[in-house]
């Protein structure tokens, strides 16, 4: 079995996701913690937590935290990071579409660029609502369809297996109307579009090499020697076009995301 034909949890285990997260998306964790009012006395579940971008920050804010993710390797890396930072939280292998937690068990439920990748959006939304207590908070950071990430994944889509039948694009979680439809009248939503800026000390070539080494889907796409050159050609063209910094470095890439905070009813 080639790397890009593996199960989703295995794909996300490729490369070094913790290194990727800390260099590229780690800044969003404290923002989501603040937006959800997380602090002492709060029971928090971070769904599709990766290596703890939000979960570790929630624990540092004094909350009682459970981090769940489909990929055991990510949870293990997060647990090491938490230990180094001197905080304790629970790490649980779980599918965002079928969470192994009781109804209404959490004051706050979060996900930063994580739950959006589960194929069944309605199942995920139903689970987020189910495990959050009435009057609680759900906070999500999700990339928008037209903010650069859709085009980013479009680079790799021809080189990876097709998603399961019926899957919806992950970036739909960044569409306001889609999110409103998922939560319906079960939550009051506050939505805000924001920008994530990724930086590389070198130019587009270094940016692509970093992704090829650390980011699971990119690692999977590059893994097939019959297509690696084509993947690299397309990815480098994308990175060159999207770069808002110096062509030779440092380079800069802007991706839009939707910060959604839902107060459950």
Within a domain: 212 = no
- Residue-wise pLDDT for 182-213, tens only, equals 999 999 999 999 999 999 999 999 999 999 99
- pTM over 0.85? The answer is yes
The structure tokens listed for 184 are 């319906």
Q: Report the domain count for the chain.
A: 1
Mean of per-residue pLDDT scores for the chain: 95
Residue 10 is predicted with a pLDDT of: 83
- Residue-wise pLDDT for 111-161, tens only, equals 999 999 999 999 999 999 999 999 999 999 999 999 999 999 999 999 999
Residue 130's domain comprises 3-198+255-264
Residue 8 is predicted with a pLDDT of: 66
Residue 4 is predicted with a pLDDT of: 35
Within a domain: 203 = no
| Whether residue 170 has pLDDT greater than 80 | yes
CATH number, domain containing residue 71: 3.40.50.150
CA atoms of 69 and 193, how far apart (whole Å): 25
């Amino acid at each position: 079995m080639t790397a890009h034909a593996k199960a989703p949890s295995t794909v996300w285990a490729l490369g070094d996701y913790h290194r990727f997260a800390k260099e590229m998306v780690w800044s969003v964790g404290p923002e989501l913690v603040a937006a959800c009012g997380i602090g002492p006395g709060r029971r928090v579940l971070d769904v599709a937590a990766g290596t703890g971008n939000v979960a570790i920050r929630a624990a540092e804010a004094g909350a009682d935290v459970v981090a769940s993710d489909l990929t055991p390797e990510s949870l293990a890396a997060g647990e090491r990071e938490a230990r180094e930072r001197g905080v304790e939280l629970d790490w649980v292998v779980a599918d965002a579409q079928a969470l192994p937690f009781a109804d209404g068990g959490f004051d706050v439920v979060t996900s930063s660029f994580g739950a959006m990748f589960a194929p069944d959006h309605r199942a995920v939304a139903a689970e987020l609502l189910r495990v959050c207590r009435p009057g609680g908070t759900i906070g999500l950071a999700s990339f928008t369809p037209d903010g650069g990430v859709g085009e980013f994944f479009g680079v790799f889509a021809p080189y990876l297996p097709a998603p399961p039948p019926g899957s919806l694009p992950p970036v739909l979680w960044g569409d306001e109307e889609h999110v409103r439809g998922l939560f319906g009248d079960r939550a009051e939503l506050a939505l805000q579009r924001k920008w994530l800026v990724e930086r590389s000390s070198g130019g587009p070539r270094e940016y692509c090499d970093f992704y090829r080494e650390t980011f699971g889907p990119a690692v999977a796409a590059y893994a097939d020697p019959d297509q690696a050159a084509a993947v690299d050609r397309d990815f480098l063209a994308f990175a060159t076009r999207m770069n808002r910094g110096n062509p030779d470095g440092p380079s800069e890439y802007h991706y839009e995301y939707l910060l959604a905070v839902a107060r459950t009813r």
